[in-house]
Structure 1
Amino acid sequence: MADKNRKKGGCFRAGCLTAVVAVLLLVGLGGWFVHQRSNRLPARFVLSVPLTGELDERPPDAGPFPFGKGRHLLSFEELLTILDRAKTDRRVDSVLLRIDGLGASPAKIQELRSSIAALRKSGKKVTAFLVTPEDKDYQLAVACDSIIVQKGSWMTLDGLKAELFFVADPLKKLGVSFQAAQWKKYKSAVETFTRNSASPENLEETNALLDDAWSDYLDSVSRQRRIGKDAFRKVVDSLAVLTPEKALGLHLIDRVATERELEQEYARRLNKPAAELLVGGREYLGATGGMRPQGGGDRIAVINITGMIVSDGAGGMSEGDGTDVATVKEALQTAIDDLKVKAIVLRIDSPGGDALAASTMLELLNEAKAKKPIVASMSGLAASGGYMVALAGDKIFAEPLTITGSIGVFSLKPDLSSLLEKTGIRREVLIRGRFADAETPFRAFDDASFRKFVELTGTVYEDFIAKVAKGRHMTPAQVDAVAGGRVWSGKRALEVGLIDQIGGLGDAVQEAKKLAGVKKEVKPALLYLPAQKTWLEYLLGSDTSDMVSALTAAMVRESLGQLQPLSRLPGAGIARFLLRTDAPQVLALDPVEVVIK
């Protein structure tokens, strides 16, 4: 095909492609110089940081072009970096958090509240500006010095909920069912596909998570706003939706104003036009060095394991869907080879995934720990396989509302035999060996095959238990007593010995610094891994086919950006695993999520 295209000429010719690359490089360099000039910060300014959406742990790859990234929301690690740098930046007069439609996990909200508290302690005033806020927005806003709600909007404070979806009955109508080996009864991930309602065990653990989140919500509002818990609970149960003026009268907020009024107030106080006064979060991050480590001193490597844990990046997992073994191996090698890196912080925001992949990652991490200390920091979710990889940490940190534990495994096998019958499709199979056709999705297991299916799951579970017992210095019986698929909040995980300490990324970095013997007065730079290339590195290090592929992928992402991601749908993560192969899957995965809305 390539030869034919070369004969035809056009832009498949080498000369034409070289010219295109040269033009793109010139455009890119021009954009870079403009970007550098725009990153000169005023001597005094208000740092304006938007907080919206899910707050993904890591930012997307910059890609091969110096434009478009500004559209992406700030990631969680970027937000933490911005707030940390602002503490000691004398140019930052105050911080304005523009909170609108926050969808982050309860644990991430807790960690942001801690960062805001540290920012206030440094002497910076922090203001929250809310637009039609809901519970998550308000729960974060109460950590600020003052809360302003946009005039003409409304507040929806109607409490918390946990959503569970079950698709077994509708799938049966299509002729699709599942056989599951659930080890043990608390490993409720399979219930989405095998039941039409929640089991008592599923309800027990979900209610426990919801209780912890509700208690934290009431406590934080009561403490920060000096409102009785019963009084705030009455607002939620009787009002639910209220005007900003009503909220002001109840002392839930401090002011009602338009965004323009707020900007004019800043302009009068600092005697500067608002356009010159307000500096956006991404602009500030770029002007202060981005996410690259600054200086030539000691470093702490922060290795991210986010999303589904998979054996490789292929098989239906798209960019940003998960973390594979090769990526972790490369990141660890970078951290070990870098003599400036004194310790590693393993940052986990994952529900788990492929049990074998998680086990392989743990083996790699344990090997690395023999060379440099490792501390595990759990973000919003570090459950099942996500908890397994945390076992490599010399210490494990989590927020009180981090979802963790779920020590258990399950296996799922789809049975499409009824679907074939409904559609009239006939299947004839010739085999050599009794179990040669046992794993097919086109018929159910017989008794002997199902026993082997269950035994395999049990073997993986026992291996998981042994890993936890070794990593946490417990007996297998002690681990089994808190395992069996049980899900724990970080607060409860501390009580049963599954983690070592309550704290966020900053606390984990301090512990890593201590274990590495770094002097107290030294503040090591953070090296985030896997390293993300800049557009220029991407451009110079790629051949033409890579660039075309990257541009195509970027265009597709932009086109689909406004659509609801399939990963948000119930059971989508498990379904994606099942589509990777026609063989049954053994997963260390947990789908429990407490939704604050």
Structure 2
Amino acid sequence: SLVVRVGVSPGGNQNPISTGLGVAQTQELREALATFQAKKEAQHGPGGGKSYFFIDSFDDQMTYYLASAFSDIAVHPAGYLPLTGISSTQFYFKDLADRLGIDVHVEARKDYKSVVAPFSQSRMPEKHRENMMSLLESLNTTFIGDVARSRAADITSCAQASGSDSQPATAAEVVRKAMEEGPIAAPDAQRLGLVTAQDYLFDVGLVISRRKALSVGNYLRARKREAGKTAPKPQKSDDEGPVTVGVVYLAGGIERRSQLGAHRLSRALLEAAKDTDVGGIVLRIDSGGGDVIASDTIGATVDYVQTKFGKPVVASYGNVSASGAYYASASCKRIFASPGTITGSIGVAAMRPIFTRKLLGSIGTNVEELYTIDNRSGSLFLAPQGAELERHRKLVDAIYATFTERVAKGRGYSREGVEQVAQGRIFTGTQALSNGLVDEMGGFTRAIEAAAQMAYGSQVEILKKSVVYRLESLAKALDSELPPLVFNDEAASKQPVAAGASTPDKPIFKADITRNIRVKEFPEEKGVIRILINSFMDGDIDSALDCIPTAGIGALLHDAVSGGVSAAFENGLSSLLSRDPHRLLEQSARRQQGARAESSDTEFK
């Protein structure tokens, strides 16, 4: 059995009563829970996979969405369910900008690319409203359907017990009506079958004590020790070793110059490609996009890895993979998403504020600009006009054309077909599957299996795995979305593989070759001294200076204690000193000059 208590730890410490997870992340957890229940029932018979979810009250719908997948849900008698349906709220700032004296020049390609609309519009554009309603309705339909399927037995039982003719005919109708009348108090939620019971904290203790429960942290540590003692060493089969899949993370905004910038991520992809143990790579994405050059850099690296090294790159989308994130992954051999993933947004938007005389006058400031060339396209005080405006629009058009061409090539669309999914439209994972933007519904684990299957032949059997997270706390592991360490188990069981679009690059997989699957993260962890030396040797002095807070004092102390400092300097410093120092300084100067040129602000030093 599995017992989850949200709100208070066994030691009495207060924890958040919300998971803080997005729709797609929650769906991956629901899928994992379903796997747990099915496995335990297969091992122990009906009821063997019983799971319990206890909480004082639900702070948000996503927490209940996760809880609904459990066998039993108990909530405090004074608690409630905030079921109100999936919604979205958007602020618009144009009137405020007008009042302040700030004009906003916007170029968007095309009608549905509305990321900049809050700054240039007073109301939601109709195309954006149409797109958002389609997306929200898709998410809400999935939410209702999943909850209804999970709670169907309890909902039906409660409806029959009530004997009321006014009860809706289906579980989905019960959930939808609860949304219309929500929030729902705990007694009403139990009456409808949305929760199993109303319990206090001491009731939870009774359930746990009867089952000789073991905390997740202790369980994971025990399993790790057990795996270390009992797991056999990987054995070669037919002179072939275990399957190793590299994992690279793309999370947050895509930038050129940051600790998780495009160049660092590209290096991680190349590092995985050059690793002789790695046969396939999973690019795990949770990003709404960002800089177009950075996105193109990552996309070009994906192409290079697949053509130069012959290693497939499989994309795994988390909560969101849109705009530049989709651009970067469009050429991946296979793309996985969850039904609640937000993706698409194939379009371009450019925005520039124009500080008017009204603003300058209100703050008692005057600005004089001097130009050596008759070109004011870089001014923040003059709106682009005439030839300058035309050049700016052509640049945006060119970026949009490059974006759509990359998507068409990577996904096999015609030029006309790609426009049907482009123009800035956003989609749920379910919608993206139907229009070809993704290949298959599946989470992170499924993507790892597919990468192994692609890398080591079109047919691979997935072994039953025992999983040990890198972090002791399961909550931290889930929060960080770190991949599991996978150990071979003595028994193997075939798992069905969902079929997607069947093309030479995207085969339908079947399972009949037994292999291990190991996960290896990139970039690999390195001590701070090694990072410094590598950065200096690459001529990347800025990165060398930036790496110290990222690597941390702990890594520096580890190097010092382990003797890594002297070894690093012996092996790397001589190579560094043999290079022309003037060349290194020139490279750094060029990088700094480029960074200043990229800035939209004017600095006087």
Q: Same fold (TM over 0.5)?
A: yes
* Compared CA separation, residues 262 and 438, structure 1 to 2 (3 A): same
Residue 235 of structure 1: aligned partner: 178
Partner SS state of residue 346, structure 1: strand
SS at match of 1:397: strand
Question: Do the aligned partners of 1:191 and 1:198 also contact (CA within 8 Å) in 2?
Answer: yes
Q: 1:247 to 1:396 in 2, by over 3 A?
A: same
Q: CA RMSD in A?
A: 3.4
Give the Å deviation of 1:217.
1.6
Post-superposition Cα deviations, 1:543-593, rounded to whole Å, max 9, x if no partner, equal 9x9999569999xxxxxxxxxxxxxxxxxxxxxx99982169xxxxxxxxx
The answer for unaligned runs of 5 or more in structure 1 is 1-44, 53-72, 74-97, 271-276, 314-318, 555-576, 585-597
1:191 CA drift (Å): 0.3
* Aligned-partner Cα distance in 1 for 2:191–2:178: 12
Give the aligned partner of residue 595 of structure 1.
none
TM-score, length of structure 1 as denominator length: 0.69
Q: Indicate conservation of the 8 Å contact 1:99/1:130, yes or no.
A: no
- Report the Cα offset of residue 539 of structure 1: 9.7
Find the aligned partners of 2:52 and 2:597 in 1 and give their Cα distance: 47
Is it true that 1:438 corresponds to 2:377 in the alignment?
Answer: yes
Asked whether the equivalents of residues 177 and 193 of structure 1 are also in contact (C-alpha less than 8 Å), the reply is no
* Aligned ranges 1:249-328 → 2 under 5 Å: 249-270=191-212, 277-281=213-217, 284=220, 288=224, 297-313=242-258, 323-328=260-265
1:384 equivalent in structure 2 = 323
1:200 — aligned with what? 126
Given that 1:46 and 1:279 are in contact with CA atoms closer than 8 Å, whether structure 2 keeps it comes out as no
1:76-475 equivalent positions in 2, closer than 5 A:
100-123=17-40, 124-133=49-58, 134-226=60-152, 227=155, 228-238=171-181, 240-270=182-212, 277-281=213-217, 284=220, 288=224, 297-313=242-258, 323-370=260-307, 371=309, 372-417=311-356, 418-435=358-375, 437-475=376-414
Give the letter aligned to residue 232 of structure 1.
V
Structure 2 unaligned segments of length 5 or more: list them: 9-13, 41-48, 156-170, 235-241, 462-513, 534-544, 555-594
Aligned-partner residue type, residue 164 of structure 1: Q
Q: Percent identity?
A: 27
1:581 aligns with 2:521: no
Aligned-residue offset at 1:160: 2.1
Q: How far apart, CA to CA, are the structure 2 residues paired with 1:330 and 1:477?
A: 35
Q: Deviations over 1:175-208 (max 9, x none)?
A: 2221011111110101011001100111011101
Report the residue type matching 1:301 in the other structure: G
Q: Is the CA contact (8 Å cut-off) linking 2:331 and 2:411 kept in structure 1?
A: no
Of 292-301 and 379-388, more deviation after overlay is shown by 292-301
SS in 2 for 1:368: helix
Q: Deviations for 1:368-401, whole angstroms, at most 9, x for unmatched residues? A: 1122111111111111111111113111111122
CA distance in 2, matches of 1:244, 1:579: 59
Deviations 1:101-129 (A, max 9, x none): 13322222222211111111110432222
Residue 516 (structure 2) pairs with residue 523 (structure 1): yes
After superposition, the Cα gap between the structure-2 partners of 1:262 and 1:539, relative to the gap in structure 1 and judged at 3 Å, is farther
TM-score for the superposition, normalised by structure 2: 0.68
- Distance apart, 1:540 and its partner CA: 10
Give, in whole Å, the separation in 2 of the partners of 1:136 and 1:419: 43
Q: Write the distance in 2 (CA, Å) between the matches of 1:295 and 1:179.
A: 62
Larger Rg: 2
Does the residue aligned with 2:211 lie in a helix, a strand or coil? Answer: helix
Between 243-252 and 189-198, the greater mean CA deviation after superposition = 243-252
Deviates more, 1:522-531 or 1:213-222: 522-531
Give aligned pairs, total: 453
Matched AA of 2:69:
A
Letter of the 2:248 partner, please give it. I
The aligned amino acid for 2:76 is Q
The amino acid of 1:515's aligned partner reads M
Larger mean Cα displacement after TM superposition, 333-342 or 208-217: 333-342
Amino acid paired to 2:355: L
Distance verdict in 2 for CA 1:413–1:149, change over 3 Å: same
| Cα distance per residue 1:9-48 (max 9 Å; x no partner) | xxxxxxxxxxxxxxxxxxxxxxxxxxxxxxxxxxxx9675
Q: Which has the higher contact order (CA 8 A, sep 6+)?
A: 1
CA distance change for structure 1 residues 312 and 46 in 2, over 3 Å: closer, same or farther?
A: same
Shift of 1:303: 1.0
Cα 1:47–1:299 change in 2 (3 A) is: farther
